[in-house]
Structure 1
Amino acid sequence: MVTDPTLFRRRPGDPPPVWGQVPPRNPNFVGRTELLRALDERLGRGTTAVLPHSLQGMGGVGKTQLALEYVYRSRHKYELVWWVPADTTAQIQQSLIDLAARLGLDTGGGEAAVAVRAALEALRSGRPYSNWLLVYDNAGEPADLRGFLPVDGSGRVLVTSRESAWRTSPDSALEVNVFERAESIELLRRRGPASLTDDEADQIAEKLGDLPLAIEQTAVWLYETLMPVPEWLGVFEQKATELLSSVRPSADYPHSVAATMNMSLDRLRDTNPAALQLLRVCAFLAPKPIPRRLFYGARNIEAPQELTEVLADPIKLGRALRAIDKYALVRMDHRTESFQLHRLVQQTLKLPLGPDERDTLEHCAHMLLANLDPGDPAAAQEWPRYAELLPHVRASDMVNCYDDWARQLVTNEIAFLTHWGGYEEGLELAEYTVSYWREHLGPDHSQTLRAMLAYAHILRQLGRFRDAYDQCSEVLDILTATRGPDDEETLDARSRFTWDLRNIGELQRALEVGREVYEKYQRLFGPDDLLTIGAAHLHAVGLRHTGYFLRALEIDSEVYRRRSEMLGSEHPFTLGSRHARAIDLMEAGRYRDAMAEMEEIDHLIARTAAENSPGRLAALRTLATLRRRNGMPQEALRLSEAAWRMSLDRNGPEAHDTVCSAACHALSLRAVDDMEAAVKLAEEVGQSYLAIFGPDHSHTASASVNLAVALRMTGRSAEALTMDEAAFEVLVDRLGHDHPSTIACAVNLASDEFATGQVDAALERDAATVERCRSIFRPAHPLTLAARRNLVLDRRAKGEKGTEAELADVVRGYAEVFGPEHPATISAERGTRANCDIFLTAL
């Protein structure tokens, strides 16, 4: 139900229940009566209102101020008003994260993608507020807001932008032009000296072209200097002539702005030169809020002499900031302890600078930013700080700074965007950084290599596994050649490389590299070092994926013990090791022990992490698999569906984590005989794995094995046979004949052959599989029991004698392992063939 904002009974001026990030109101706002009326009318009838610039992108006409005035005049009509700085994706994302937190939504432990989706869904659904207004200020192209705008819902969206692409229709766009002459005169009289006449104000407005930004600058300048208007007109002509004859502003920058601002800057140079230097440094930052704390603790920053003295003295710093504010050169926000320069002010400040002075001031800006680096991009509590710094890092082109601390901040911003979920923006920054540093620092420079590793990590998150492999492989080759195989950074790169090897299907090689790294860490740092323990954990991952579950179980048990002692039982690393241990138990066939372990793990994770955190989703998948394998299909279905739905919401349908959850849920659907849904979802999983890994990866083949069972159970045995034959070839090639996944495929392939009338082929394959299971697993392992069971049924079909006694022995084995009431035991008693599934998880 759409709520009419006029029905709210708050009085004009009353703030809404949720009022967030709205800049202070401009007490000197004048005019714009018709635009405000039109805007109110359009928003009142539910039309998205867009305020693009109408003069080919020229700034300074007051789009933001118009939107701000509307917000303050109409705030009583809304339950929620939220201001979104829209210059960059990171700013938009952080603003929506803040909105989610303000609404008390479950944000997945601070994960960016989850928080953004939660905020947008709350707006769409109208819970808890149905009548809302979002203002996206200074947006770029419409495509830049894709994924960050509410879809449907009963609220309103207002966008300010210089881009003409927002002018999609007359009903959705309002052109914001320069002032009407009467508005210019009103602002000049309000902010200028009391002696200013209407005629003088008219002459000034004519010279300035009625541009609001220039009008305000001139009014303040006249008030502070008390210069007579005729004299001002002469000085203005002189400044305009100087600009036109020397440095030409950009095409979207009227010379009237440059002339009026240079008059103010000349005045500032005479009264407080240090304040002018501070302002010039800020010209190299983004036209976004600049935190005052950027200048705190910056006593040792390289800077011009006047600025060095200001940075060393908080009293002088305060005076400088007040002087800047006095001439209306910045907009102060005392609530957030920040100030902001208009982009035209920044251009004016840069115009007269020579190359050397530009370099000096830009480097000072870089060092101020580096000084504010939190130093831990993986820590969720530091993400707002990194989001705040990011637009300034990019605007100042910090990539070209020669200082290592500044370069480290760039690399940390890439890492932050990866952890935060800003993959596309992180990818863009990483690609530019790596390209620039490779050319200017060299491919073997330490900062280049660190940026390449950060780049590889973001590529992994985007599913570009081969590109990640190439990046990490190149870094590893360079580090090995220049620093040696035992260098700490070399070992770190080799550890990361194991993920890339597994992602491209090289599981055996990943195992060898992981073992080598682990042994070197043991030798260099000792068994109790956290780096060694981390390497042991990664080695166990390699063992598990290559089928050495018992050895992985030994290592994971020891790592779990050590991490419990050193980090505590509820630390994420400790819980990760315990989870790995439970998977080892499951794959070793100890389903009951594994389920008891996972129940405790899930309880701890649920208590310490968000419901849809990656660790919780992984735990739900494992627990659902164990419930199903322990004969509790309905409970498994409930858990797997929860994991799948939450992963869809958190990551989207194409993410590997979501595909893993879908694979788990498809098996649960099959277990409760919802075969149509099971086949449909398993087919989608197969296509997703094909797109992620390609046709020759073990995960793609394993997904086919799981799908083939459902196909055979719905009468599509010939399709199942073809699918399992192809999967078997891939699994043998990638994992070998003795890997549990290959053996599971062999068991199912024999059943396909049996179902298509090839009983002799099934008998031969099952007999070989039983012998292989006996040489690898214990007699009570589920795979051994499945192979024996199917072999007995093959022989019975051939009319051999003594099969009933053998089948009874197999049933007793099932009863001992699973219990007499387990579905597998019951189906064995009925003479039904066994099916095997493969547990799919992240590599």
Structure 2
Amino acid sequence: MPNRGGLPPRNPRFVGRDDLLTRVRGLLGDGPVVLLPSPEQELGGTGRTQLAIEYAHRHADAYDLIWWIPAEQTAGTRASLAGLAQRLGVPEARDLNRTLGAVRDALSRGEPYRNWLIVFENANRPEDITPYLPSGAGHVLVTSRDPRWTAEVAQALPVPVFSRADSVDLLRSRGPELSAADADRIADRLDDVPMALDLAAAVRDATGRSAAAYLSDFDRRAAEATPIRVAWGLAAEALGAGVPGDRMLLELCTFLASAPISWRLLWAARTLPLEPELAGIVRVERRLRAAMRRISRYGLAELDPAGERLTVHPLIRGMFGQELSPERHEALQRTVRGMLAAADPGDPDDPAGWYRYAELAPHLIQSDLLGGDAEEVRQLVVNCVRYHFARGDYDSSRDLAGSAAARWRDALGESAEQTLLASFHLANALRAVGRTADARNLNLQTLRTQREVAGADDEATLTTANSVGGDLRIQGHFGQARQLDADNLVRYRRLFGEGYPTALRCANNLAADLRLLGDFRGARVLDEQVLRHRQAIFVDGHPEIVATRAGLAFDLFGLGDYAGAAEVLAARGADLPEDHIFALWAGRAAAMVARRRGDPSARALAEANLRVCRQRFGELSVDTLAAAVSAAHCARADGDLDHAHELLERAVTRYHAVLGDEHPFTLAASAGLAGMIRAAGRHAEARTIGEEVLGGLRRSVGADHPFALGCANGLAADLAAVGRAQQARELAADTLRRSRAVRGPDHPDTVACSWNLALTGGDDAARQQALDAFTKAYGDGHPVFRVTAAGHAVETEIDLPPL
């Protein structure tokens, strides 16, 4: 049996279509096939989905994998493909787009399955699924109502109505007592449309109505509408005549999407004001489940074998909707919106509740949830925005947030609380998809409005201010970020207390600012405070504790306390997946610490960290680039200068593209590249790069920043090597003076500056003093002594902390 995902059960009442199934099989060998309504039945109802289901089951033995994808909405398509990624063993990236691209590529390569069938159901916009269409030895089958499919994308195959023989077979399979002549008369009235025939058979089966009685009822309505609409009308009438509440329940379902609707979702309506007939059904689980079975029995929806979920065909939904008066439409829509809001599990960041949001999210459009006027309804929209973001579907998060912000701006005004909340989440999504300038501008605009309307101490205002701080860090404006986050922290602590979770996050952000500014002592004090509070709240191994330990390790690394950093990291636990962002930060710090301690495992740690970063975030992520810089330093320490140069050269190019030419991280990575060129003996070239980079760093972060000091230390060595001895001594002396003032005389990088200055001055006593200091800092046998024994300058590599 093939691996299966989402494939609906086989229809035991499927009849005929043998020629059509043979054509599908033949066409799939030449590329994707799209099943469309026939021209004479453009509304649908010709059985495209049933044909696709039957094909998948009939030819299951020919495939290693069959995956069914509900494609009515892009978010549903992407969620199903994410599930396929797990089945294929494709590593999950932080950005779902990367995961989906990897799914497409794995299918195209035939890894791990060569023969596969992917079915996109209700893909009514070709452009929505085109990016996900794989090639290779597998097959792609699509059902759609949209005629705009081109031959370059898929081969169109119109699905006609039944032949008369198939119509008669279907009717008689549901009603064996029906004569061939009566079946022929019913089929003639229904124009052989499969959905209409199925409805007729279901009504006769449920009511025991004779062929003559059914035809009489049909003729009574036939002048009013098309055959399929008449068949639907008779089914809806019969359903309502049995238990009136059943029809009302189905009317609610017409405001939901074609995705499966669970009884639990319908049950959420039990707390709402309802008509007595409907209330009597939804407030008792067994009655609700019985109503779902009756709706299915009349052919008006499909019920899954477990009796858990109803699926309503788009055509059925549309016909119900056309029957409603404006007042009835408004009342039902309000009830559905309330029902969806009542089913909101809350806390969209918690993966434990994602399966519930996966059920709710497809129904937002059909119910027009964005148009709801109740606050809890709009909050569900916001929570769905956040759910998409939390699971890495940034495109869906951005699209929904953008729609919400635009609708609410028009309906509620620019300064309404939930308009601003949607704008805040939109900025997050924009930043995540790389539109950092748009995110920054939107966040600033939102923050200004929130301060005017709600005040600077409002919790939502503070949350946006935190986000603005993140924007400033990404821009490289570390000082501005520190100023904003310090003000935020004062407000958080005054309003909520020092140990309040969001106050701790703000303190964590301020520590990151201080670390980026080179104030490792200040960052350490904050991180130690945050760690104590978080340990009192969470169990060890919780993501927020891991994040704080990683930050503290970077602080201690910056202070030159490599043993202390290693101790902090050793206590962090292993509860997080290796590709969690906080685990990756800790992993990068571990590789940096191992390198500085002379541990030969450093390179393997750094390369493993870089590999996972690439899988999780892609090549252009700032976390991947920082991991590449650290891996380059480890490769150099391991003697592999060529690989180190390659890593840094690529990282510098990408930093220029992602963060810009003047960003401190771009300049710091460029200083590292100059170090690789210096190690290759090309001092004149390294000097040119170093002088330009040092100027940029002094402008952006100041001459006393560790980035600038590391660059200046290397540049002094280049100046000495090209014969500029006096300039080299002056720069080396200035760098040592600044390093002593900023980092202290015993910091390993200060000791390296002392050694390098002694080299330029030829002072044996100063050299010995530096060697003694190295012994104190590193202990005997450290690799640094191989460098000093050869009379070479000691590099002070620049590693990059998290942004």
Mark yes or no: TM-score above 0.5: yes
Q: Secondary structure at the match of 1:139?
A: coil
Contact kept in structure 1, 2:289 and 2:307, CA below 8 Å: no
State the partner residue of 1:581. Answer: 552
Shift in Å at residue 625 of structure 1?
Answer: 1.3
State the partner residue of 2:143. Answer: 160
Q: Secondary structure at the match of 1:69?
A: helix
Q: Say whether residues 1:189 and 2:172 are aligned partners.
A: yes
Moved more, 449-458 or 89-98: 89-98
Shift in Å at residue 457 of structure 1?
Answer: 1.7
State the partner residue of 2:121. Answer: 137
Q: Secondary structure at the match of 1:394?
A: coil
Shift in Å at residue 642 of structure 1?
Answer: 1.2
Q: Secondary structure at the match of 2:484?
A: helix
Q: Relative to 1, partners in 2 of residues 1:53 and 1:297: Cα closer, same or farther, differing over 3 Å?
A: closer
Shift in Å at residue 395 of structure 1?
Answer: 2.4
Match of 1:795 among 761, 768, 773: 761
Match of 1:616 among 583, 587, 592: 583
Unaligned runs of 5+ residues in structure 2 are none
Could you give the per-residue CA deviations for residues 169-207 of structure 1, whole angstroms, max 9, x where no partner exists? Answer: 799664433322322232233335734534x54454455
Q: Say whether residues 1:834 and 2:794 are aligned partners.
A: yes
Where does 1:343-362 land on structure 2 (aligned, <5 Å)?
343-362=314-333
Shift in Å at residue 661 of structure 1?
Answer: 2.2
State the partner residue of 1:766. Answer: 732
Distance in 1, matches of 2:781 and 2:727, equals: 32
Unaligned runs of 5+ residues in structure 1 are 1-15, 244-254, 797-802
Q: Secondary structure at the match of 2:69?
A: strand
Distance in 2, matches of 1:24 and 1:162, equals: 22
Contact kept in structure 2, 1:51 and 1:63, CA below 8 Å: no
State the partner residue of 1:692. Answer: 658
Contact kept in structure 2, 1:39 and 1:49, CA below 8 Å: no
Shift in Å at residue 469 of structure 1?
Answer: 1.9
Q: Relative to 1, partners in 2 of residues 1:466 and 1:171: Cα closer, same or farther, differing over 3 Å?
A: closer
Match of 1:88 among 73, 76, 88: 73
Where does 1:17-36 land on structure 2 (aligned, <5 Å)?
18-36=3-21
State the partner residue of 2:196. Answer: 214
State the partner residue of 2:536. Answer: 565
Distance in 1, matches of 2:437 and 2:96, equals: 26
Contact kept in structure 1, 2:98 and 2:618, CA below 8 Å: no
Distance in 2, matches of 1:663 and 1:597, equals: 23
Q: Relative to 1, partners in 2 of residues 1:77 and 1:724: Cα closer, same or farther, differing over 3 Å?
A: same
Q: Say whether residues 1:331 and 2:293 are aligned partners.
A: no
Instruction: Please tell me the residue identity of whatever aligns with 1:649.
Output: Q
Q: Secondary structure at the match of 1:299?
A: helix
Q: Relative to 1, partners in 2 of residues 1:170 and 1:591: Cα closer, same or farther, differing over 3 Å?
A: closer
Shift in Å at residue 537 of structure 1?
Answer: 2.0
Distance in 2, matches of 1:192 and 1:807, equals: 102
Distance in 1, matches of 2:197 and 2:747, equals: 84
State the partner residue of 2:161. Answer: 178
Q: Relative to 1, partners in 2 of residues 1:819 and 1:213: Cα closer, same or farther, differing over 3 Å?
A: same
Match of 2:742 among 776, 790, 798: 776
Distance in 1, matches of 2:141 and 2:632, equals: 43
Moved more, 175-184 or 715-724: 715-724
Could you give the per-residue CA deviations for residues 766-789 of structure 1, whole angstroms, max 9, x where no partner exists? Answer: 221111112222112122123222
Distance in 1, matches of 2:644 and 2:333, equals: 59
Instruction: Please tell me the residue identity of whatever aligns with 1:138.
Output: N
State the partner residue of 2:47. Answer: 62
Instruction: Please tell me the residue identity of whatever aligns with 1:678.
Output: A
Q: Say whether residues 1:260 and 2:231 are aligned partners.
A: yes
Contact kept in structure 2, 1:430 and 1:454, CA below 8 Å: yes
Distance in 1, matches of 2:800 and 2:509, equals: 18
Distance in 2, matches of 1:131 and 1:256, equals: 41
Where does 1:657-696 land on structure 2 (aligned, <5 Å)?
657-696=623-662
Contact kept in structure 1, 2:345 and 2:353, CA below 8 Å: yes
Contact kept in structure 2, 1:97 and 1:115, CA below 8 Å: yes
State the partner residue of 2:783. Answer: 823
Instruction: Please tell me the residue identity of whatever aligns with 2:626.
Output: C
Instruction: Please tell me the residue identity of whatever aligns with 2:656.
Output: L
Moved more, 108-117 or 215-224: 108-117
Q: Say whether residues 1:411 and 2:382 are aligned partners.
A: yes
Moved more, 585-594 or 461-470: 461-470
Contact kept in structure 2, 1:303 and 1:360, CA below 8 Å: no
Q: Say whether residues 1:627 and 2:594 are aligned partners.
A: yes
Contact kept in structure 1, 2:292 and 2:310, CA below 8 Å: no
Shift in Å at residue 129 of structure 1?
Answer: 5.8
Shift in Å at residue 130 of structure 1?
Answer: 5.5
Instruction: Please tell me the residue identity of whatever aligns with 1:804.
Output: D
Distance in 1, matches of 2:466 and 2:672, equals: 31
Shift in Å at residue 645 of structure 1?
Answer: 1.6
Q: Secondary structure at the match of 1:459?
A: helix
Match of 2:416 among 435, 445, 448: 445
Q: Relative to 1, partners in 2 of residues 1:187 and 1:756: Cα closer, same or farther, differing over 3 Å?
A: farther
Q: TM-score, normalised by structure 2?
A: 0.92
Name the count of aligned residue pairs: 801
Q: Secondary structure at the match of 1:67?
A: helix
Moved more, 169-178 or 713-722: 169-178
Distance in 2, matches of 1:368 and 1:655, equals: 40
Q: Say whether residues 1:286 and 2:257 are aligned partners.
A: yes
Q: Secondary structure at the match of 2:793?
A: coil
Q: Secondary structure at the match of 1:51?
A: strand
Shift in Å at residue 630 of structure 1?
Answer: 1.8
State the partner residue of 1:342. Answer: 313
Distance in 1, matches of 2:44 and 2:732, equals: 77
Could you give the per-residue CA deviations for residues 693-734 of structure 1, whole angstroms, max 9, x where no partner exists? Answer: 222221222222222222333355444334333332332222
Match of 1:495 among 466, 478, 485: 466
Instruction: Please tell me the residue identity of whatever aligns with 1:66.
Output: L
Where does 1:62-141 land on structure 2 (aligned, <5 Å)?
62-99=47-84, 131-141=115-125
State the partner residue of 2:435. Answer: 464
Distance in 1, matches of 2:627 and 2:273, equals: 52
Distance in 2, matches of 1:347 and 1:285, equals: 11
Q: RMSD between aligned alpha carbons?
A: 3.0
